[in-house]
Amino acid sequence: MTDTEVGSAQAEDESTGRIRVAVVEDHPLYRAAVARVLDHAADIELGVVADSVARFAAGRQPQGSVVVLDLKLRGLQDAAAVMEVVRLGHKVLVVSAHAGQAEVLGAISAGARGYLSKEADGDEILRAIREIAAGNSYVSPILAAFVLKASRERQAGPKIPLSRQERQVLSLVAAGERDQDIAEIMKISVRTVRSYLDRIRDKTGRRRRPELTRFAIEEGIVGEAGELPED
């Protein structure tokens, strides 16, 4: 990932190679369940577990950690909570019972690297954490499809013209793929991938990967690259 963003510090503990993760969730049972899943993963180093952003901040979690964050908390919540955790230098994975279009897009715009419904199982939470720690984005495919349907129903006006190749690159970015992975999938060079990304950024005005992911959801460019709509 070439973007320069807040929270760009490494999620891995250099001494152990494990991914540093914190949990901010105010529901005691769900908080304990997530903490238990993380505590049993060999590649995860569980740090601060808190019920509010303020208490999380007081815990001095090392910068660059992946923070599993609920949106509905005491004190700061929703996009404001995401922005504060990002400001503190972390990578945010939202896991929320509120999974409407406004919540998903609002969280991504605020800087979240990923978004899951609380219906996600432990394996998917771990998968999302690993993707985010590696510098990628992660939105549950089921949730992305739901948001996409709502977006299509409300959309009006002209679309920004992207070529099929540009839409394919953008779809893969939204799926959390890195430039090298996109090059391998599309059988093109990394330099060509970055050229496509430059064109996409120029056309859309979106610079960061979370912004590109939101754009892909809004415009319906989400899903398997081979299933993208034709020009």
Total domains, the chain: 2
DSSP alpha helices (H): ranges in the chain? 28-39, 53-58, 78-87, 101-109, 122-133, 141-154, 164-174, 179-186, 190-204, 209-219
Residues 112 and 205 occupy one common structural domain = no
Residues 171-191: pLDDT tens digits? 888 777 789 989 998 999 999
Share of the chain above pLDDT 70, in %: 81
Assessment of whether the complete model's pTM goes beyond 0.85: no
The two structure tokens encoding residue 194: 């970055």
Classify residue 27: in a domain, yes or no. yes
Give the sign of the dihedral formed by CA 220, CA 2, CA 42, CA 18. Answer: negative
Q: What residues contact residue 21 under an 8 Å CB cut-off, 6+ apart? A: 11, 38, 44, 45, 46, 47, 65, 66, 67, 68, 129
pLDDT band of residue 17 (cuts 50, 70, 90) is confident
Helices 141-154 and 209-219: angle between axes, nearest 10 degrees: 60
Domain boundary among 145, 175, 206: 145
Residues 136 and 31 occupy one common structural domain = yes
- Residue, of 170 and 3, whose pLDDT is higher: 170
pLDDT band of residue 51 (cuts 50, 70, 90) is very high
Classify residue 4: in a domain, yes or no. no
Residues 180 and 126 occupy one common structural domain = no
Taking the alpha carbons at both ends of the chain, their separation in whole angstroms is: 28
Block residue for tokens 């394996």: 123
Residues 109 and 197 occupy one common structural domain = no
Classify residue 2: in a domain, yes or no. no
Residues 139 and 170 occupy one common structural domain = no
What span, in angstroms and rounded, lies between the C-alpha atoms of 34 and 27? 11
Q: Is the pLDDT of residue 203 over 80?
A: yes
Q: Is the pLDDT of residue 228 over 70?
A: no
